[in-house]
Amino acid sequence: MHMAPTPGTMAAIEIVAPGGPEVLRPAQRRVPEPGPAEVLIRVSAAGVNRPDVMQRQGKYPPPPGVTDIPGLEVAGEIVALGTDVSELRTGDRVCALVAGGGYAEYCAAPAPQCLRIPDSLTAVEAAAIPETYFTVWTNVFERGRLRNGETLLVHGGSSGIGTTAIQLARAFGARVFATAGTDEKCRACERLGAERGINYKTEDFVTVVKDATGARGVDLVLDMVGGDYVPRDVEALAVEGRLVLIALQHGPKAELNLLPLLQRRLWITGSTLRPRSVEEKGAIARALHENVWPLLETGRCKPVIDSTFPLANAAEAHRRMESGAHVGKIVLTV
Ligand SMILES: NC(=O)c1ccc[n+]([C@@H]2O[C@H](COP(=O)([O-])OP(=O)(O)OC[C@H]3O[C@@H](n4cnc5c(N)ncnc54)[C@H](OP(=O)(O)O)[C@@H]3O)[C@@H](O)[C@H]2O)c1
């Protein structure tokens, strides 16, 4: 579709009504005005995430005050600064975590949630970073307290989140097991550093991790499945083990024997990133800059890109994600 630009407007993707990928339509919107503590980014690339699919379906509305344009992460160049922003400059190449508005030519982002793009990365790679790296950092290393020498089990190892969790956990010296729905995806997880990919359709992950750890179990489970996985996660945990829930694809309810929590001194926690404050997201950004940016700069970690689609074809990008055939991240180019 051809969209003739008018001054002060931009191309963006709208969700015309809750529904399938076809409800994502190109539209003209006003270029956002950055607030005092925000920057305006001319977007080169925007990451696609499972929560965008849920938003499109009407199951994950944007928080109050946030644009209805989908998109939780962008990479591009800063073209305007809010009055209170002093740590960034126009012309800086940044990637940013945003609460919405990424599927557009321009996007306003809180300055604390922007990170300069390492020279070694393309805009497409940089756009694939914020949502999964912020999520993995805060859940695996902050809440989950994963340490060098410990063992992680990550469900959905070939997802955007999973590919990031495998690489970061390995880089920080952990052993990693990852579940995925095909043998091919399991091998992809192993190429990224997982000791063993576990096909959850043909194998029992509790048995596999117990066998591989001499019956000890794993120190941390990062779970995006929930529901009936929760009692099995608990079974897979070692003494002092932690279970961190980040999504509930099998539903919010589980029947659980609580005795192992007492006997093995276990923790169960979880979080969602989007509603957290700018201060909290800024703190995660600083921790990433300090601990993870050196790994990206040296190429020790690199976002896994499954495919790219032009912004106007956002519907195709969502079809790709919903096909479940992807390994790693799907990115829109602007
Ligand atoms: N809490 C937070 O802050 C936060 C932030 C971002 C994302 N998330 C959540 O994290 C998940 C991954 O997001 P994404 O953007 O990376 O999406 P994605 O690439 O579409 O990942 C979804 C993953 O779930 C896996 N999965 C589905 N059923 C499974 C099962 N029974 N056992 C093991 N794995 C299973 C899929 O594996 P197969 O395709 O192999 O079946 C797929 O890898 C999503 O559920 C998303 O909502 C949470």
pLDDT of res. 7:
67
How far does CA 265 lie from the centroid of its chain? 29
User: Residue 193 in contact with residue 173, Cβ under 8 Å?
Assistant: no
Q: What percent of the chain is helix, strand and coil (3-state, nearest 5)?
A: 30, 30, 40
Find the residues whose C-beta lies inside 6 A of ligand 1: 49-51, 131, 135, 155-156, 158-162, 179-181, 185, 200, 224-225, 246-247, 249, 271-273, 321, 324
- pLDDT value of position 196: 98
Nearest-CA residue for ligand 1 atom 11 is: 224
- The DSSP-derived string for 82-124 is -TT--S--TT-EEEEE-SS--SBSEEEEEGGGEEEPPTTS-HH
For residue 135, give the nearest of 50, 229, 228, 35 by alpha carbon: 50
Q: Ligand 1 center to residue 156 CA distance, Å?
A: 5
Asked if 225 and 193 count as a contact pair (C-beta separation under 8 A), the reply is no
Q: Could you tell me the distance, in angstroms and rounded to a whole number, from the CA of residue 81 to the centre of ligand 1?
A: 35
- Closest alpha carbon to 55 in 103, 19, 30: 19
Ligand 1 pocket, mutate which of 161, 198, 223 (most atoms under 8 A from CB): 161
Amino acid 5: pLDDT: 53
pLDDT of residue 186: 98
Best residue among 53, 158, 249 to mutate for probing ligand 1, ranked by most atoms within 8 Å of CB: 249
Q: Are 40 and 62 in contact (CB under 8 A)?
A: no
Structure confidence at residue 302 (pLDDT)? 96
Whole-prediction pTM value? 0.96
Strand ranges in 82-236 using DSSP code E only, listed in sequence order:
93-97, 106-110, 114-116, 151-154, 175-180, 196-199, 218-223
| C-alpha 159 to ligand 1 mean position (Å) | 6
Q: pLDDT per position in the chain (334 positions), as tens?
A: 344 455 699 999 999 999 999 999 999 999 999 999 999 999 999 999 999 999 999 999 998 999 999 999 999 999 999 999 999 999 999 999 999 999 999 999 999 999 999 999 999 999 999 999 999 999 999 999 999 999 999 999 999 999 999 999 999 999 999 999 999 999 999 999 999 999 999 999 999 999 999 999 999 999 999 999 999 999 999 999 999 999 999 999 999 999 999 999 999 999 999 989 999 999 999 999 999 999 999 999 999 999 999 999 999 999 999 999 999 999 999 9
At 3 the pLDDT is 43
Distance from residue 53's CA to the centre of ligand 1 (Å): 12
User: Using only C-alpha atoms, what is the Rg of the chain?
Assistant: 20
- Ligand 1 centre to CA of 35 (Å) is 33
pLDDT at 2: 41
Grouping H, G, I as helix, E, B as strand and the rest as coil, residue 238 is: strand
| Confidence at residue 4, expressed as pLDDT on a 0 to 100 scale | 47
Residue 186 DSSP code: H
Cα dihedral sign for 39, 74, 294, 133?
positive
CB 186 within 8 A of CB 208: no
